């Protein structure tokens, strides 16, 4: 009996800001893998890193932003990769950033957009991404995040 392997080598980060009392999510347009598609931040875990440390690093590398707070979203993004005949899982994190902070994209993305979660759900190509965004809206926007999910808080809060 053949098995399908389960791989977990990366993370996914939904970045939020509060702007004029509205919560917005950062969407990035990809240049390489899934070129032209809108997505959240994602990246591979490096040797010696914890997944949440990867999340903070990827936010900085891909957007130039620093998270004021980072939470475990308490959910994983998962999808089947036919070329590898494997299920890939990625823990999802939710980062909150200062509304005034400027986004500086790296070469992985061609453009960015701060948008409502409802608009973001229309922008992303995959049902799994919409599921993650709905979860984040329910657990991190419509209610206070569970304090036990807090992984990192900047000591320099404004």
Task: Check whether 155 has a pLDDT greater than 90.
Answer: no
Query: Could you give the CA distance from residue 84 to residue 24 in angstroms, rounded to a whole number?
Result: 35
Average confidence (pLDDT) over 1-11: 91
* Residues facing residue 17 across a β-bridge: 24
Which domains are delineated in the chain?
A: 5-153 (3.90.79.10)
Summarize pLDDT for 21-71 with one digit per residue, the tens: 999 999 999 987 778 899 999 999 999 999 999 999 999 999 999 999 999
Q: How many CB atoms lie within 10 A of CB 76?
A: 15
* Residues facing residue 43 across a β-bridge: 11
Torsion region of 85: left, alpha or beta (phi above 0 gives left; psi -120 to 50 gives alpha)? left
- Residue 145 confidence (pLDDT): 96
Q: From the centroid of its chain, how far is CA 34?
A: 16
Task: Check whether 158 has a pLDDT greater than 60.
Answer: no
What is the reported pTM?
0.93
Average confidence (pLDDT) over 124-137: 96
- Residue 1 confidence (pLDDT): 81
- Residue 36 confidence (pLDDT): 86
- Residue 157 confidence (pLDDT): 52
Distance set, CA 38 to CA 25, 42, 68, 105 (Å): 12, 12, 24, 14
Distance set, CA 1 to CA 7, 83, 86 (Å): 19, 19, 15
Q: How many CB atoms lie within 10 A of CB 106?
A: 13
DSSP helix/strand/coil, 32:
coil
Summarize pLDDT for 82-97 with one digit per residue, the tens: 998 999 999 999 999 9
Query: Could you give the CA distance from residue 55 to residue 51 in angstroms, rounded to a whole number?
Result: 6
Query: Could you give the CA distance from residue 117 to residue 108 in angstroms, rounded to a whole number?
Result: 22
């Amino acid at each position: 009996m053949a098995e399908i392997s389960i791989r977990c080598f990366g993370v996914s980060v939904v970045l939020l800001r509060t702007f004029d009392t509205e919560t917005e999510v950062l969407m990035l347009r990809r240049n390489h893998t899934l070129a032209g598609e809108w997505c959240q931040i994602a990246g591979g875990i490096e040797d010696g890193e914890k997944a949440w440390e990867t999340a903070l690093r990827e936010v900085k590398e891909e957007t130039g932003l620093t998270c004021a707070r980072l939470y475990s979203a308490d959910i994983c993004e998962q999808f089947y990769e036919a070329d590898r005949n494997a299920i890939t899982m990625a823990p999802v994190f939710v980062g909150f950033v200062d509304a005034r902070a400027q986004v500086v994209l790296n070469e992985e993305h061609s453009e960015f957009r701060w948008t409502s979660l409802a608009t973001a759900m229309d922008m992303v190509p995959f049902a799994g991404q919409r599921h993650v965004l709905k979860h984040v809206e329910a657990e991190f926007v419509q209610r206070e995040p569970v304090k036990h999910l807090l992984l990192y808080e900047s000591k320099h809060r404004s």
